[in-house]
């Protein structure tokens, strides 16, 4: 293993492959998810949801429901009047609808009963009188000023939540210098996460007057803060615990009605309350990918260099803001990577419609524009007669540069990624030569490693880690992070073990408990390895320093002469001179309890552009992908046969886990490219609110995935690491679109590429020019 780390020493644990310390718990069914927990006297609550996309609530009659034997209590919207939301500047949602419903499926009443079935039956006995309102279901309708504002009660009622407009360099001059201008429109569909575990919460008020809340969340800290605020509690009165989480992919970032209503009802009823959403409710809880209508214009010189980009995006956001303000920035910010660009203009709008709220989904806000940009490059490459891989290679940003919109880029493994996928796939030999119905395509992308700014303004650390070691030899690491399957528990154990000379499985990790663990901002924007990893290394280094000081005294050498590995602390030049880890802890405890903490605060990277506070990251990851497809021109059925994905994740802390992230990203991208769409019927009813109808790929639709890890060294990353959990999804859909074009000659700019769309496009393509 070629290891490189900040101390200039070979890494022993970092960079290895293989099992996660928490793997067996999941594989044997012992990991406890929120629905696996139960408490004495616990009751179950269910929601009655709106059948209307937009309507006044005129009355609610609970009498028949409350008379049902087994019903314990109920609540309506007015009982929690404060608005909640992920982003403090645009909180616009209430736990249950108050006075008005804004999407089909919005929770209106919550009823608790001795069992779930009784709660459900009681919900059906509630009588709600609605007065329907005109609905806004499309981008055009949202932009029509004649339509009513969905949030009529906001300060400036409008169906435009946010408009962002940014302009860097001189776009017109850039276009004037271009030899080729390519201009196209794109439509990217909405899609949803479908974590196999639904959202759920269990709340209990304890004898000390405090609330304990277990919830399936990605963001314990933000949810903790917001739940407390909305319920009118001090945050210190609330202990939020994240048990094992059955994945999120962005879908469990927001606070939810489950947490608010379980907490409120538990107080009101004096009994623990559990709420678990059913599968259909998860589809309506949504917070998934925004459908985005895009227009893109790019200028190129004959040598392939990009002279300017002008980009417009309109995002159909659904009825509430969720992370929509962030989305409106992410739609434009990352267009300046990974290609050199001096002149860039973008305008985005995030709109309200009468549909379930959109929010962050893996590759948040960056997936849609990346699709447009990369397919645009494919078109330009063909017009310029430059191979598509070569066109990209000619434009890659240099390491340690700043983009025109102020993103400060450190390590860049883009070229290695492109060369790796081209070589391993045989792209150059196959492009245009695979024969009828078969094609190959390439795309590349860049993504962030955490946001420089938290969602609420503060100058504090973004990630804290505490490590407690004692004379028993037990090493316990406390972190506010949320492992949602991506492997952050193992990541922390790996870094800690590396610095203390242990194996990862010797480190116990306690995470995601707002009372026990130091603050971490959560599992979003691909921040955890970079930020929590750095905090972990700092904490472990403090423990290490104390162990080394004690060992040095015992071994009568300088601290600097020591090394830790395999459970011993030894003299580097004379490894037989050693003491065991446990003996070193014993000696170190003479100076007091061995508890140390580390924190990560992003560097104050001044951005020249004040308006650019959403998007900048301490580091950026890079990905290239090649997709090979087969299209049946009779049926329109497309099959992705193989995908080669190369990703620059900085240093791979565990290679198997990194590969798993690449594979998961590609898989999710294939779903979005070919099958998945969060589509609505007239009246705002979901077309496919079940796993059967919402077509997610099974093994049979999943291509062979060849993962290639490209390692760069990111100065600011823990052992040089960056991210792997989201970035690799960005280039999947455009690579497939380019492969489809290579196979058939058709340009499809509106995923998913269904047989219907492919057949229609083939007809148009074959039709003689009239």
Partner 1 sequence: MSSESILSLRVNGQPFRRLVPAERSLLDFLREDLGLTGSKHGCDVGDCGACTVLVEGQPRLACITLAVEMEGASITTIEGIGGPEGPHPVQKHFDQQVASQCGYCTPGIVLVLVALLRDDPQPSESRIREVLGSNICRCTGYTKILAAARAAVGAA
Which spans of this chain sit near partner 1 (rule: CB under 8 A)?
Answer: 18-20, 23-33, 35-36, 193-198, 244-247, 249, 276, 278-279, 484-487, 656-657, 659-660, 663-668, 690-692, 696, 698-700, 702, 705, 707
Which residue, 566 or 693, is less far from partner 1 as judged by CB? 693
Distance, in Å, from the CA atom of 611 to the CA atom of 624, rounded to the nearest integer, reads 30
Which residue, 180 or 637, is less far from partner 1 as judged by CB? 637
| Location of structure tokens 């214009």 | 297
What is the DSSP code string of 601-620? -------S-TT--SS--S-E
| Location of structure tokens 């000619």 | 394
**Contacts (Cβ under 8 Å, ≥6 apart) of 299:** 174, 175, 177, 178, 180, 181, 306, 307, 308, 309
Q: Which two tokens stand for residue 148?
A: 């009513």
**In angstroms, what CA-CA distances link 260 with 201, 203, 223, 235, 455?**
9, 9, 10, 14, 20
Give min distance, CB of 662 to partner 1, in A. 8
Give min distance, CB of 488 to partner 1, in A. 11
Which residue, 244 or 412, is less far from partner 1 as judged by CB? 244
Longest dimension (CA), the chain: 91
Q: Is the CB of residue 482 less than 8 Å from the CB of residue 245?
A: yes
Give min distance, CB of 378 to partner 1, in A. 24
Which residue, 51 or 70, is less far from partner 1 as judged by CB? 70
Give min distance, CB of 474 to partner 1, in A. 18
Hey, how many other C-beta atoms are within 10 angstroms of the C-beta on 268?
Answer: 17
Give min distance, CB of 752 to partner 1, in A. 17
Element (H, E) at 674: helix 655-674
Which residue, 217 or 707, is less far from partner 1 as judged by CB? 707
Distance, in Å, from the CA atom of 370 to the CA atom of 356, rounded to the nearest integer, reads 24
Q: Which two tokens stand for residue 241?
A: 């615990």
Element (H, E) at 24: helix 23-27
Q: Give SS3 for 709.
A: strand
Give min distance, CB of 124 to partner 1, in A. 16
**In angstroms, what CA-CA distances link 155 with 90, 149, 161, 163?**
11, 11, 12, 16
Give min distance, CB of 198 to partner 1, in A. 8
Which residue, 510 or 595, is less far from partner 1 as judged by CB? 510
Which residue, 117 or 763, is less far from partner 1 as judged by CB? 117
Distance, in Å, from the CA atom of 277 to the CA atom of 203, rounded to the nearest integer, reads 15
Which residue, 112 or 245, is less far from partner 1 as judged by CB? 245
Which residue, 348 or 732, is less far from partner 1 as judged by CB? 732
Give min distance, CB of 509 to partner 1, in A. 15
Q: Which two tokens stand for residue 85?
A: 């939301």
Give min distance, CB of 277 to partner 1, in A. 10
CB-side exposure of 54: number of CA atoms within 13 Å? 21
Give min distance, CB of 262 to partner 1, in A. 17
| Location of structure tokens 């009246």 | 683
Which residue, 159 or 486, is less far from partner 1 as judged by CB? 486
Q: Is the CB of residue 678 less than 8 Å from the CB of residue 191?
A: yes
Q: Is the CB of residue 620 less than 8 Å from the CB of residue 405?
A: no
């Amino acid at each position: 293993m070629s290891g490189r780390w900040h101390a200039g020493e070979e890494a022993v644990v970092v960079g290895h492959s293989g099992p996660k310390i928490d793997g067996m718990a999941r594989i044997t069914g012992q990991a406890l998810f929120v629905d696996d927990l139960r408490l004495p006297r616990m009751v179950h609550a269910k929601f009655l949801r709106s059948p209307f996309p937009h309507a006044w609530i005129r009355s609610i009659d609970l009498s028949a429901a409350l008379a049902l034997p087994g019903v314990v209590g109920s609540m309506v919207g007015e009982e929690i009047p404060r608005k909640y939301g992920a982003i403090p500047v645009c909180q616009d949602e209430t736990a249950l609808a108050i006075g008005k419903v804004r999407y089909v499926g919005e929770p209106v009443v919550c009823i608790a009963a001795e069992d779930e079935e009784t709660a459900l039956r009681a919900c059906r006995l509630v009588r709600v009188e609605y007065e329907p309102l005109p609905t806004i279901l499309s981008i055009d309708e949202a932009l029509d000023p004649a339509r009513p504002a969905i949030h009529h009660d906001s300060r400036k009622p409008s169906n435009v939540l946010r408009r962002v407009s940014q302009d860097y360099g001189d776009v017109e001059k850039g276009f004037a210098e271009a030899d080729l201008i390519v201009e196209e429109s794109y439509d990217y569909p909405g899609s949803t996460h479908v974590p196999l575990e639904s959202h759920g919460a269990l709340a209990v008020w304890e004898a000390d007057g405090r609330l304990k809340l277990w919830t399936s969340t990605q963001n314990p800290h933000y949810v903790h803060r917001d739940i407390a605020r909305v319920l009118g509690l001090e945050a210190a009165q609330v202990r939020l615990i994240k048990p094992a989480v059955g994945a999120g992919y962005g879908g469990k970032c927001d606070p939810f009605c489950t947490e608010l209503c379980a907490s409120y009802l538990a107080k009101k009823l004096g009994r623990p309350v559990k709420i678990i959403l059913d599968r259909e409710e998860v589809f309506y809880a949504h917070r998934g990918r925004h459908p985005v209508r895009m227009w893109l214009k790019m200028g190129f010189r004959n040598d392939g260099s990009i002279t300017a980009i002008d980009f417009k995006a309109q995002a159909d956001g659904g009825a509430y803001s969720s992370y929509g303000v962030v989305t409106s920035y992410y739609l434009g910010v990352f267009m300046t990577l990974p290609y050199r660009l001096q002149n860039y203009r973008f305008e985005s709008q995030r709109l309200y419609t009468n549909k379930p709220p959109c929010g962050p989904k893996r590759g948040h806000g960056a997936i849609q524009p990346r699709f447009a940009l990369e397919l645009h490059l494919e078109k330009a490459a063909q017009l310029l007669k430059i191979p598509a891989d070569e066109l990209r290679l000619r434009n890659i940003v240099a390491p340690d540069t700043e983009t025109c919109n102020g993103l400060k880029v450190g390590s860049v493994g883009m070229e290695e990624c492109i060369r790796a996928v081209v070589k391993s796939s045989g792209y150059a030999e196959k492009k245009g030569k695979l024969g009828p119905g078969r094609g190959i395509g390439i795309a590349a992308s860049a993504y962030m490693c955490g946001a420089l700014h938290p969602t609420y303004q503060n100058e504090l650390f973004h990630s804290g880690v505490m490590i407690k070691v004692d004379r028993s030899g037990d090493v316990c690491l406390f972190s506010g992070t949320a492992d949602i399957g991506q492997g952050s528990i193992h990541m922390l154990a790996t870094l800690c073990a590396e610095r203390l000379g242990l194996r990862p499985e010797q480190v116990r990790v306690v995470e995601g408990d707002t009372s026990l663990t130091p603050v971490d901002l959560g599992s979003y924007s691909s921040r955890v390895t970079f930020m929590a990893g750095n905090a972990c290394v700092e904490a472990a280094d403090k423990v290490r320093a104390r162990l080394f000081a004690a060992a040095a005294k015992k071994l009568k050498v300088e601290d600097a002469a020591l090394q830790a590995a395999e459970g011993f602390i030894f003299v580097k030049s004379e490894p037989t001179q050693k003491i065991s880890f446990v003996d070193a802890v014993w000696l170190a405890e003479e100076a007091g309890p061995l508890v140390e903490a580390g924190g990560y605060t992003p560097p104050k990277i001044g951005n020249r552009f004040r308006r650019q506070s959403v998007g900048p990251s301490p580091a950026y990851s890079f990905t290239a992908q090649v997709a090979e497809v087969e299209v049946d021109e009779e049926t329109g059925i497309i099959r992705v046969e193989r995908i080669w994905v190369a990703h620059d994740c900085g240093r791979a802390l565990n290679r198997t886990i990194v590969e798993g992230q690449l594979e998961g990203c590609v898989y999710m991208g294939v779903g979005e490219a070919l099958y998945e769409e969060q589509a609505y019927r007239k009246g705002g009813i979901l077309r496919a609110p079940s796993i059967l109808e919402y077509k997610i790929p099974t093994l049979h639709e999943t291509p062979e995935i060849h993962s290639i890890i490209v390692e760069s060294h990111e100065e600011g990353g823990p052992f040089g690491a960056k991210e792997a959990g989201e970035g690799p999804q960005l280039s999947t859909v455009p690579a497939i679109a380019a492969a489809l074009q290579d196979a058939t000659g058709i340009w499809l700019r509106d995923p998913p590429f269904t047989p219907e769309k492919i057949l229609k496009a083939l007809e148009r393509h074959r039709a003689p020019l009239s």
